[in-house]
Amino acid sequence: MSKLKDHLPALVAAVVIVVLIACTCRVTYIPDPVQETTIDETGAVVVVEELSVAEQYCQDNWDSLMMPTIQERAQDIATMLPMIREDLAAAGDQYASRENETSPYSFCLSGTVQVLEIEEPDRATRTRLVIDVQPYDGEPDAKIQVSSVIRTNALRDAVGFLKLDDFANQVEFADLTTAFNARVQETVIAGLDIASLEGQEVDFLGCVAINEYTEPDDFLIVPVELGPKAGE
């Protein structure tokens, strides 16, 4: 009993401290985030996905800014190809955009070309249209990417107005490429009957990033518009 009496002041003090902490501390309740919903065209309730900065930028600016800029800057591929083949730097300095001195030249191009073959049609991640540029000679000049995986900054860099300093960090800037390429997948490539294009003339609008040009694999175009030649 004497031992309990000896420890009683300390126990009382501990209880007082606990009571004081409980009375003075603020407990903040953080509710679970509420998912935003909307009604789709069928009348069903669907959850609105939260977009990243890059995805939001693409959604807000693709039709109003990206596409008009690509259309305005586009050069005819039949004119540009010989210039690029002869002197990439000279052609690039005049007609392309470039992030820095070590980056590829990124061109906006358009035109009518002949599809010579469908490259690797059974491998969705590598499928490309092998194209002949006018004047046609039956030899491949370049390729148009119609694969499920597109790895190039051509769309982001070719428009000329998107700069790293305009975004919070390198990740956001890099994510623009992912968002733009995903847009091409959804709006251009997904709706194509690729097999039907072999041997046909097609009209295209797109971008290409080039470090050097010695073979068709160096000239991989990302299409923002692609389809059979007008009138056919």
In a domain, 149, yes or no: yes
In a domain, 16, yes or no: no
Written as six digits, the tokens of 30 are 């953080």
**Residue 117 contacts by C-beta under 8 Å, 6 or more apart in sequence?**
130, 198
In a domain, 172, yes or no: yes
Q: Is 37 helix (H, G, I), strand (E, B) or coil?
A: strand
In a domain, 24, yes or no: no
Tens-digit pLDDT profile for residues 110-137:
999 999 999 999 999 999 999 999 999 9
For the chain, the domain total comes to 1
Domain that holds residue 161: 53-228
CATH number at 179 reads 2.40.50.420
Residue 232, pLDDT above cutoff 80? no
In a domain, 37, yes or no: no
In a domain, 5, yes or no: no
Q: Which pLDDT value is given to residue 174?
A: 95
More confident residue, 106 or 37: 106
Interatomic CA distance for residues 77 and 153, integer angstroms: 19
Q: Is the pTM of this model over 0.85?
A: no
Cβ 85 vs Cβ 79: under 8 Å? no
In a domain, 8, yes or no: no
In a domain, 14, yes or no: no
Beta bridge partners of 37: 47
Residue at token pair 């990124």: 106
Cβ 217 vs Cβ 202: under 8 Å? no
